[in-house]
Chain A
Amino acid sequence: MARSVWDSTVGKKAVMAVSGLIMLLYLVVHMIGNLKIFFGAGEFNHYAHWLRTVGEPFMHYEWTLWVVRVVLVLAVVAHAVSAYQLSRRDIKARPTKYVHKKARASYATRTMRWGGIILALFIVWHLLDLTTGTVHSGGFESGKPYQNVVDTFSTWYGNTIYIVAMLAVGLHVRHGFWSAAQTLGAGSRTRDRALKTTANALALLLTAGFLAVPVGVMTGVVS
């Protein structure tokens, strides 16, 4: 069964949908967690620490976090590999372009592809910046996420990269959520409007929620 799912365009798209939804769920949680920054360093850092102790005493320190990380890595890899393979296939299926070009013809498709690549690059930077601290601008300290965040958003490029990426998240979620619903067969004519509204709302909420942090830093609300 796994084989037949992976070998089919419809199946591979379902893999993308499921992995996309997992990431979406994670993003929502992540975004809510981020907002704690507005309650001060204490609460934010405490929250960050708590993340490592979730599930104790059954789980050992950071076990839950690692489970989440593994699931996320799998989701990202499945999503990206499917996207890559499907895109290759799509491009091959339409080798000759029309002489008379239509701008709208591939708007959603293009946004998803470029958006996906932007997001992939962003994730790498984001991890190197705020998880490992490899490319962090200030003096990275793993137990002090509040300060790390403030440092990042105190640089022009940190803000630019983040804002561009969050806009990409919005666009990606907007088409992706609705698209996933169709791929998983959850769409219908009567539900289409509700799905589209939900997709728009999710996209808006995530973008706004995530952007609140750099805006907070820039405006000095968070410092």
Chain B
Amino acid sequence: MKLTLRVWRQKNADADGAMSTYEVDDVSPDMSFLEMLDTLNEELILKGEDPVAFDHDCREGICGACSLVINGDAHGPERTTTCQLHMRSFQDGDTIDIEPWRAAAFPVIKDLVVDRSAFDRIIQAGGYITAPTGSAPEAHATPVPKPDADLAFEHAECIGCGACVAACPNGAAMLFTSAKINHLNVLPQGAPERETRVLDMVAQMDEEGFGGCTLAGECATACPKGIPLTSITGMNKEWLRATRKAGKR
């Protein structure tokens, strides 16, 4: 396959960026999207040009590092991560636009690499269960009903890639934040910190400059792990409940 790529190039956080056009030949349909970019970069290095910077690591769809907006879609046309997208999803002769995640809370570092540390700070605000090492009771002391365990797992699958933010017209991090809140709040182990968790995490999310939710649903469509939009509903419910309880104290 022969493709034309239009790639966002930006030297660093302070520089202005622009789309640059590249031609790539000999693309195999079995290549992953990132392998196609590898090929381009090998050529660029040999020509003495700066290769395209992009985040990637496990290339198995689980680490959440890869983060490209391809033809306007976070992670491209398939419901998967960029690293698991294969070139067979494109046609010979296609022009493909590649851009970084766009959000005020995710500033560009270089080219297609953005700073997602805001996500870490949201987790730091309360996305955990306080269980100091060594203090744990026997694992079977608290049975967890299977439906609850399954629900927790479904939300815990979030890989923190940020596609939800990239796809959201408001640059909101609701789906990311709600996934963690639902994961921990549904479990009996998470109950003691249930209220503080949701209040603190939502406050941090706002603090980071993410937008609000208009329930456009783009986040859930883009999510490579299929975290459902109802996750946000669950978070809202938890937040209102926690606010009511806090008001009574």
Contacts and interface: CB of A to CB of B under 8 A. Distances in A.
Does chain A touch chain B in the assembled complex, meaning CB atoms less than 8 Å apart? yes
Interface of A: 1, 4-5, 7-14, 86, 89-102, 105-109, 112, 175, 178-179, 181-189, 192
Given A93-B105, A189-B228, A100 B71 contact: yes
Interface of B: 6, 8, 19, 69, 71-73, 97, 99, 102-105, 167-172, 199, 202-203, 205-206, 209-218, 228-230, 232-241, 243-244, 246-247
B97 A93 contact: no
Contacts of A92: 104, 209, 211
A179 B216 CA distance: 9
Contact of A94 (B72, B103, B232): B103
B243 A98 contact: no
B240 A184 contact: yes
B233 A185 contact: yes
Contact of B170 (A12, A109, A181, A183): A109
Given A93-B104, A182-B230, 6 more contacts: A86-B212, A92-B209, A93-B211, A99-B97, A181-B233, A185-B241
A107 B172 contact: no
Main secondary structure, interface of B, reads mixed
A13 B215 CA distance: 11
Given A94-B211, A97-B102, A188 B230 contact: yes
A85 to B, nearest CB: 9
Among A14, A93, A105, A189, the most chain B Cβ lie within 10 Å of the Cβ of A93
Given A93-B104, A95-B104, A108 B212 contact: no
B75 to A, nearest CB: 13
Nearest to B173: A93
B102 A10 contact: no
B214 A90 contact: yes
Given A100-B72, A105-B72, A109-B216, A8 B170 contact: no
A98 B166 CA distance: 10
